Structure 1
Amino acid sequence: MQETTSGYTYTQDFIPRKTLEIDLEHTAIFITDPQNDFISEGGAAWGLVGEQVVADKVVEHQVQLREAAKAAGIPVFYSPHTYTEMDYANWTSLNGIDTMMFAIDMFHEGTWGHEFHPDMVPDDNTIVMNPHKGLSNFWTGDAALQLRQYGVQTIIMAGMSANLCVESHLRDAVENGFDVIVIADATAGAGAHSKKAALINYEFIAHEITTTDDIIMRLHEAAN
């Protein structure tokens, strides 16, 4: 295993290391599912993800990313997850994760769990995209359109959950021609192996993996 100057340790020695240049005119923070059901104690998925969320200080790191973005003058995009009452009543083709989420009433529009974490409530620097219902906003939301309208080329990605929505957004962002930096300590997954599996895939797919501290330092340097 090899550690980069960012503090992230690659698990696969043969993967090339890259450090992207931060161009503030074309860079944004992108956070998936910063909602109570994932990152608040008492949320529907807390029993599955809570231990990792706490251990990796995911909420604290996401808050720091938002603050750093505002200080650097770059936008923050949210990709929230939503299911309506009609979705719950009428969806018939549920895969594994859909079945789990529907069973625990996750992201049900109008519930506390569907709301944003109190520390992650959108501010005047936050663009809340249309909600996604599958694992990626690029398919069931307006991510590509919004990012292009704001002139974004480089996405600094964080959020929940590591091996599902974050990885799906990462894959689709790359397929749509965006450069993606994944923040390894600002995401978490369900179960002991999910985040490890996600990080292995990030190493192949992302343009770069780094940490909250490193990207904040680089944003500060780019802005000054």
Structure 2
Amino acid sequence: MGDITIDPRNTAVLFTDPQVDALKPEGVMWDQVGDLVEEHDVVSKLERLQDAAREGDVPVFYSPHYYDDDEFESWEELNGIDQKMFDAEMYHVDGEGSNIIPELEPDDNTFVLSSHKHLSGFWANDIQAQFTKRGIDTIVIAGMFANLCVESHIRDAIENGFKVVAVTDATAAPGEDFLEAAKTNAEMLAHETAQTDDVVDRLRNAPQTSPIEAEE
């Protein structure tokens, strides 16, 4: 796997679930993920990636989770992670836990996609339309949780023809084993795995013109 070109004309940064319930002590999953979120400084790394994308004129997209009372009450045949989220009413649309964390407050360079109800937005929100209609074919992915929504977005992005750079240190999971398994899978699935420091530099220095335009 070589370095993927980050070009602001066809590249997007994608954060999955940059929300309070996944990333803050007051979130309902903090007891399961908080140690790794803090150990790997995930919030700061996501913030740095967002800032660098802004500097390089690379758009940032958020793929969030939201559920309402009717869904919590009426959904049946839940899988393992759905059951955990529903038991805790995670990402309740009317609760503080579904809010985007303050450090990642959307700005003019940020686009919040519609809610994904399962692990991948490619099956549940407008991610495919937003990317293809904007000419995006390369996605830099980070966020929460490494072994769930991040990995599912990576898999489906690749299956749908996108090139993927997985930022493997800007994520966490409900346990070190899950995190390491997700990193191993990302190395097999993504076109490139990279660290935040490297991606930040590449986003900041993303070329603003093509070689042909530069020669002219």
Please report how far the alpha carbon of residue 192 of structure 1 lies from its aligned counterpart in structure 2 after TM superposition.
2.3
Q: Secondary structure at the match of 2:122?
A: helix
Mapping of residues 127-206 of structure 1, within 5 Å: 127-206=111-190
Question: Which runs of 5 or more structure 1 residues have no equivalent in the other structure?
Answer: 1-16
Look up the equivalent residue of 1:203 and give its one-letter code: E
Q: Secondary structure at the match of 2:205?
A: helix
4+ residue stretches of structure 1 with deviation over 4 A?
Answer: none
Cross-structure match for 2:203: 219
- Asked if structure 1 preserves the Cα contact closer than 8 Å seen for 2:16 and 2:149, the reply is yes
Q: Secondary structure at the match of 1:66?
A: helix
Cross-structure match for 1:114: 98
- Asked if structure 1 preserves the Cα contact closer than 8 Å seen for 2:120 and 2:156, the reply is yes
Look up the equivalent residue of 2:159 and give its one-letter code: E
Residues 29-69 of structure 1: per-residue CA shift (max 9 Å, x gap): 10000000000112000011111110111000100111111
Q: Secondary structure at the match of 1:183?
A: strand
TM-score (norm 2): 0.94
Q: Secondary structure at the match of 1:25?
A: coil
- Aligned match of 2:21 in 13, 20, 37? 37
Q: Distance in 1 between matches of 2:207 and 2:43?
A: 24
- Asked if structure 1 preserves the Cα contact closer than 8 Å seen for 2:154 and 2:189, the reply is yes
Please report how far the alpha carbon of residue 217 of structure 1 lies from its aligned counterpart in structure 2 after TM superposition.
1.1
Matched, 1:59 2:43: yes
TM-score (norm 1): 0.90
Q: Secondary structure at the match of 1:73?
A: coil
Q: Distance in 1 between matches of 2:20 and 2:78?
A: 22
Q: Distance in 1 between matches of 2:124 and 2:204?
A: 34
- Aligned match of 2:88 in 97, 104, 108? 104
Q: Distance in 2 between matches of 1:65 and 1:72?
A: 10
Look up the equivalent residue of 1:41 and give its one-letter code: P
> Identity rate of aligned residues, in percent?
45
Q: Distance in 2 between matches of 1:99 and 1:216?
A: 36
Q: Secondary structure at the match of 1:31?
A: strand
Residues 111-140 of structure 1: per-residue CA shift (max 9 Å, x gap): 000111111121111111110010000001
Residues 138-174 of structure 1: per-residue CA shift (max 9 Å, x gap): 0011111111111111100000000000000000000
Q: Secondary structure at the match of 2:176?
A: coil
Cross-structure match for 2:67: 83
Please report how far the alpha carbon of residue 223 of structure 1 lies from its aligned counterpart in structure 2 after TM superposition.
3.8
Question: Which runs of 5 or more structure 2 residues have no equivalent in the other structure?
Answer: 209-216
User: CA RMSD, aligned part only?
Assistant: 1.0
